[in-house]
Structure 1
């Protein structure tokens, strides 16, 4: 069983990037749901790790309103 929690490489993340985009932004799944799906696929990540990747990829559900 591969647990990649703190050792998740950029290649691991990139392998799942399109799926994460679809689940999180298109299907509007929660962070918890996305983490659960990733875990089923063998990528064990923390909430903070997922938050960081989403921020780096600019995957945001709520955009700030124009002032």
Structure 2
């Protein structure tokens, strides 16, 4: 097995690539939410976009802890 060890767990190459793929998707969500929040006028929709942005930021931080 190869990859970074975190809390006694080693990730294989395929698992590391999956984490990179999830991170890329979350970054895309983050960018889209940020851009949409700037043009949306509905307060409820702005609230949902802000929450999605926060969730994406948190997920990226958590995933990055496992990446080399």
Q: Considering the TM-score relative to the shorter chain, is it more than 0.5?
A: no
Task: From the CA coordinates, give the structure whose radius of gyration is larger.
Answer: 2
TM-score for the superposition, normalised by structure 1: 0.30
* Greater share of residues in helix: 2
